[in-house]
């Protein structure tokens, strides 16, 4: 652990030193930087195009915190800001010195000189992204409702290459991968179970969601830990201008959201709650029946606060808590059982603008998921429980530089991102207790908690050789340590607290290339290696959420995989329609499942009940979207 930590810290600060030396060389350039917000509510805007109007290839986009940085040779420029669904802005900027310029964009359609569809909606062609779909706030509001609920996750499952679960579980499958191979993030916190009502609804309340991005292919180096995909969801920050309240009543649930400024234009909050009332509707029909006492409900609570400490420092605190509770009773059979499961997340983030070119975010993240099942029938009582708990420290740095200023690299502009990540896992795969109601004896299968650390350092570089050709090249170095206390029933060895049992290490190169044929056509390709150190083992005999998460050990090896993809991208009618045709090929190893003759025997080691295998997947995907209206076909 110490060796890997020293290596990661050394790499991290070596990159900082390189950037520092680069800044000293860049004497003939200056930087315009700042934050971009929605003028209506003060929410920061993600993915806003910022560019030199005279040469649009000299540009950048705002990051996930609304920060942008553009470095150019010293002279006067007309800088344009454009974003789909918002009025664009142009301003003259004298870059004879660094400029801090924060802007606010107004909602609406522009019909003047700045036409949003001209430079913002061509991202299907001009961006490096392949196998990626983004749903910003305006699109989320337009999504179709299911039983009165807008469900962002269900919408993603309509995309080509994404399939919903057919066995009653809440998972989904991407390009032939398993349900556990998708990294679902809410404000950087992992959500292990993303479904309510056994997957019928997702846990994400659309009223609290700011934006959603799914990566099916071409996963950037700043993401890791899963083989198939990333679903990155950001919560709203809260209205910094006015207090607002909104809500809705659906067929199965109601929701209420309250947000407003803590200090106008400086800090804000949002609280959003949702609860189902299925049982309240069904209760009159169950009264006096065999199923009186049966009950089901779920609820969600999203909370977020932010505070602008200074023009260069911001603090964010966010959290989510949600649960499903089901109780089933049968008086005739003298039987009852209950299921209780849910997620808890908490994130503290500090944004710091180190310099006009350098932006740093530090995050401390907690997340947990647990389920409990209990039942009684035929004189037997049974209780089953399982859970996952993580602590996560992340540091991410964005750096934009000018042409010719980075040693050993091409003489072109570079957008560099690098960082490190350390996760402490605590997994409790299984606790089972079976007791006769007469207390004549009991059977207990107690799987002790298993501890591990997962860590990674990464760096990626986005650069454009010319207006037609661009690359996103990255490397992620990941490691994993499984340690005690732990007793192996296979080897009959007992390990002490913090005693290292097994180490794993992997290089994960990532590569994306984009060739822009003209303003309407582009070809893109990507290649990536990924590793996964924790695994979900599925109980296919039950549609209840009784799947367990297990760590990599000396017996259970990490899942490893690679994916190659390529695509043709085409825009029609002034970017009104977007077409993409993508093909992919994937290989993965060490896939895990229960053995066919699996029996829950407490005398056996859990790892001794697994089987492993390799797999591959390939396919072709067609996707057509009408950008300026609601609708997509895949």
Among candidate residues 236, 185, 212, the one with its CA nearest the CA of residue 37: 236
Element (H, E) at 262: strand 253-263
Q: Given this model, what pLDDT does residue 406 score?
A: 47
User: Are residues 148 and 90 part of one domain?
Assistant: no
Evaluate if residue 297 carries a pLDDT over 60. yes
Please report which confidence band the pLDDT of residue 443 belongs to, taking 50, 70 and 90 as the band edges.
Answer: low
Residue 411's pLDDT is what? 55
CATH number for position 520: 2.40.170.20
Q: Are residues 158 and 9 in the same domain?
A: no
Domain boundary pick from 65, 100, 126: 126
Q: Are residues 100 and 181 in the same domain?
A: no
Query: Which residue, among 525, 587, 579, has the nearest Cα to 160 in the 3D structure?
Result: 579
* 184 shares a domain with 95: no
Q: State whether 168 and 96 are in the same domain.
A: no
**Which residue is listed with tokens 């066919």?**
596
Longest distance between any two alpha carbons in the chain, whole Å: 87
Judgement on whether residues 155 and 120 belong to the same structural domain of the protein: no
Domain boundary among 71, 97, 126: 126
Query: Residue 289 gets which letter from DSSP?
Result: S
What SS3 class is residue 593?
strand
Confidence of residue 72 (pLDDT cuts 50, 70, 90): confident
Same domain as 490, residue 365: yes
What confidence category does residue 19 fall into, taking pLDDT thresholds of 50, 70 and 90? Answer: low
Q: Pick left, alpha or beta for residue 438 (phi over 0 → left; psi -120 to 50 → alpha; otherwise beta).
A: alpha
- How much is the pLDDT for 440? 59
Q: State mean pLDDT over 228-247.
A: 93
Instruction: Find the range with the poorest average confidence among 3-12, 131-140, 232-241, 523-532.
Output: 3-12
Checking if the pLDDT of 27 tops 60, the result is: no
Strand-strand pairing, 29-38 and 103-105: parallel
Question: Based on the domain organization, do 274 and 306 belong to the same domain?
Answer: yes
Whether residue 346 sits in one domain with residue 445: yes
Which one is predicted more confidently, 576 or 220?
220
> Residue 51: beta bridge partners?
59, 80
Number of folded domains that form the chain: 2
User: Does residue 344 surpass a pLDDT of 90?
Assistant: yes
**Per-residue pLDDT at 279:** 74
What pLDDT, in 10s, does the model give residues 86-143? 888 899 988 888 888 999 998 865 433 333 333 445 778 888 889 898 887 667 767 6
Kindly tell me if the per-residue pLDDT of 634 is higher than 70: no
Smallest CA-to-CA distance from 386 within 335, 426, 435 is with 426
Looking at residue 375, its pLDDT comes to 78
Is residue 612 over pLDDT 80?
A: yes
Claim to verify: residue 154 and residue 68 sit in the same structural domain: no
Cβ neighbours of residue 226 closer than 8 Å, sequence gap 6 or more? 180, 181, 182, 183, 530, 532
pLDDT digits (tens, 9 = 90+) for 36-50: 999 988 899 988 889
Q: Answer with the residue of higher pLDDT: 79 or 294.
A: 79
Do 525 and 395 reside in the same domain of the chain?
yes
Kindly tell me if the per-residue pLDDT of 73 is higher than 90.
no
Whether the model pTM is above 0.85: yes
| Cα Rg of the chain, angstroms | 26
Domain end call among 126, 143, 163: 126
CATH code: domain of residue 96: 2.60.40.1120
pLDDT tens track for 466-510: 878 889 999 999 999 999 898 887 788 899 999 999 999 999 999
The per-residue pLDDT of the chain, averaged, comes to: 84
Regarding whether 183 and 111 lie in a shared domain, the answer is no
In tens, the pLDDT along 500-540 reads 999 999 999 999 999 999 889 999 999 999 999 999 988 76
Q: Would you state the pLDDT for residue 277? A: 82
Instruction: Kindly state the tokens that stand for 558.
Output: 């990490």
Mean of pLDDT values over 609-617 = 91
Domain with 302 in it:
132-633
Choose the most confident range, by mean pLDDT, from 26-30, 60-64, 251-255, 452-456. 452-456
């Amino acid at each position: 652990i110490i060796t890997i930590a020293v290596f990661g810290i050394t790499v991290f600060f070596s990159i900082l030193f390189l950037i520092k030396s680069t800044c000293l060389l860049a004497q003939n350039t200056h930087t315009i930087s700042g934050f971009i917000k929605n003028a209506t509510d003060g929410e920061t805007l993600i993915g806003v195009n910022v560019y030199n109007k005279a040469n649009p290839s000299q540009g950048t986009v705002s990051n996930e915190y609304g920060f942008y940085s553009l470095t150019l040779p010293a002279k006067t420029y007309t800088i344009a800001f454009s974003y789909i669904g918002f009025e664009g802005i142009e301003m003259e900027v004298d870059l004879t010195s660094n400029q801090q310029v924060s802007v606010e964009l107004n909602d609406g359609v522009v019909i003047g000189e700045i036409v949003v569809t001209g430079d913002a909606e061509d991202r299907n062609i001009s961006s490096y992204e392949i196998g990626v779909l983004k749903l910003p706030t305006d699109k989320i509001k337009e999504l179709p409702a299911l039983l009165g609920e807008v469900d962002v996750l269900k919408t993603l499952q309509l995309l080509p290459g994404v399939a919903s679960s057919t066995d009653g579980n809440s998972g989904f499958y991407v390009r032939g991968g398993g349900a556990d191979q998708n990294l679902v993030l809410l404000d950087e916190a992992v959500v292990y179970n993303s479904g309510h009502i056994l997957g019928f609804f997702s846990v994400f309340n659309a009223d609290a969601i700011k934006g959603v991005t799914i990566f099916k292919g071409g996963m950037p180096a700043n993401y890791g830990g899963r083989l198939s995909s990333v679903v990155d969801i950001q919560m709203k920050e809260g209205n910094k201008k006015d207090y607002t309240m909104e809500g809705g009543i659906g067929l199965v649930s109601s929701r209420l959201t309250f947000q407003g400024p803590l200090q106008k234009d400086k800090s804000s909050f949002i609280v959003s709650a949702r609860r189902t009332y299925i049982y309240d509707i069904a209760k009159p029909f169950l009264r006096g029946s065999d199923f009186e006492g049966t009950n089901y409900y779920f609820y969600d609570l999203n909370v977020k606060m932010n505070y602008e400490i200074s023009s260069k420092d911001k603090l964010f605190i966010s959290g989510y808590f949600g649960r499903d509770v089901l109780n089933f009773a049968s008086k005739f059979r003298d039987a009852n059982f209950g299921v209780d499961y849910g997620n808890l997340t908490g994130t503290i983030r500090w944004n710091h603008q180190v310099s006009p070119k350098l932006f740093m975010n530090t995050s401390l993240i907690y997340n947990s998921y647990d389920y409990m099942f209990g039942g009684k029938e035929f004189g037997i009582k049974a209780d089953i429980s399982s859970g996952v708990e993580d602590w996560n420290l992340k540091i991410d740095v964005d750096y934009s530089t000018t042409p010719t200023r980075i040693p050993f690299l091409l003489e072109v502009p570079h957008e560099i991102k690098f960082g490190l990540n350390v996760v402490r896992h605590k997994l409790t795969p299984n606790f089972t207790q079976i007791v006769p109601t007469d207390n004549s004896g009991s059977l207990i299968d107690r799987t002790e908690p298993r501890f591990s650390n997962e860590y990674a350092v990464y760096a990626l570089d986005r650069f454009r050789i010319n207006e037609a050709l661009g690359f996103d090249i990255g490397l992620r170095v990941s490691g994993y340590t499984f340690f005690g206390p732990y007793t192996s029933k296979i080897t009959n060895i007992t390990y002490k607290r913090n005693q290292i049992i097994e180490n794993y290490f992997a290089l994960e190169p990532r590569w994306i290339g984009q060739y822009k044929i003209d303003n309407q056509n582009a070809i893109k390709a990507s290649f990536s290696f990924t590793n996964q150190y924790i695994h979900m083992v599925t109980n296919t005999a039950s549609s209840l959420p009784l799947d367990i998460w297990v760590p990599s050990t000396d017996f259970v090896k990490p899942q490893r995989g690679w994916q190659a993809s390529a695509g043709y991208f085409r825009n029609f009618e002034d970017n009104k329609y977007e077409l993409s045709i993508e093909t992919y090929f994937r290989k993965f190893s060490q896939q895990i499942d229960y053995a066919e003759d699996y029996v829950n025997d407490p005398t056996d080691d859990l790892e001794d009940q697994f089987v492993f295998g390799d797999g591959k997947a390939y396919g072709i995907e067609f996707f057509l979207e009408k950008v300026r209206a609601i609708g997509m076909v895949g």
